[in-house]
Amino acid sequence: MNIHAIVCTRDRSNVSPTTDKLIKYLVSSHIKPCIMSGASSIFSAYQGAFDHLNPEPEDIIIMCHDDIEIREEPEIFVRKLTDALAIDSIGFVGAAGTTFLSADAIWWNKDCWKMGKHRGKVTHIDNNQQEYLTQYGPPDEVVVLDGLFLAARPKVLRDIGLSKPDYFEGEWDYYDIYYTSQAFFKGYTNKAIDIHIVHRSIGELVGRDSWAKNRAAFIAHNPLPIVLHQ
């Protein structure tokens, strides 16, 4: 079994210190990094890298941001991943997500958060470069996951397809909600697992035009709300 990590970055020849640290961590964990740069779309980058890797069924594919830090001992991190993906019915695993994707299709919807619908945790960095831990809820099953870190078996990725759906206009947004919701619709179980990820980006997506267009398109083409029935 191999674990591959597809990491999209703007300039492979001039990576940031955070990306460099991430790559070194992956290598130390015996995870094979696949660095993608210069792609016209995150969808094409992930699909192209997946096709190039042509992974075996028992492999694990990570798809993650280039601005994260993984704060787990390598052996523990690998064990958590392999244990979480050991069951055929598991779709995606990640750091954070929700059991209830509301009609606005925003997974971190604050009203749902107050109702205890969210799962997982992520450490964020504020404008003063201070770290704070965001506790969404206990790790457990979810309907969709945040795209800062996703992992799945090749069968799941082949079942859902990584290419951009025709109804999306933006090239870089809403891939995570699309991928993980499609896995859920196909009967897979998505899970937020207990991993410590630091996201070194505030990520003001709501103000980005392509994010807004893809969100509107997702709402128009998918049944909402998406609810986890246990």
Q: What is the pLDDT of residue 192?
A: 98
Q: What is the pLDDT of residue 69?
A: 96
- Residue type for position 18: T
- Distance between CA atoms of residues 34 and 51, nearest Å: 12
Q: What are the domain boundaries of the chain?
A: 3-227
Q: What is the pLDDT of residue 129?
A: 84
Q: What is the pLDDT of residue 89?
A: 97
CA angle 67, 73, 77 (to 5 degrees): 75
Taking the CA of residue 137 as centre, how many other CA atoms within 13 Å lie in the half-sphere pointing to its CB?
A: 21
pLDDT 10s digit of each residue in the chain, 230 long? 999 999 998 766 677 899 999 999 999 999 999 999 888 899 999 999 999 999 999 999 999 999 999 999 999 999 999 999 999 999 999 999 999 999 999 999 999 999 999 999 999 988 788 899 999 999 999 999 999 999 999 999 999 999 999 999 999 999 999 999 999 999 999 999 999 999 987 555 544 688 999 999 999 999 999 999 85
pTM of the model as a whole: 0.94
99 class by beta-carbon count within 10 Å (0-12 exposed, 13-18 middle, 19+ buried): buried
Q: What is the pLDDT of residue 204?
A: 52
CATH superfamily, domain at 3-227: Spore Coat Polysaccharide Biosynthesis Protein SpsA; Chain A (3.90.550.10)
- Distance between CA atoms of residues 113 and 160, nearest Å: 28
- Distance between CA atoms of residues 230 and 209, nearest Å: 36
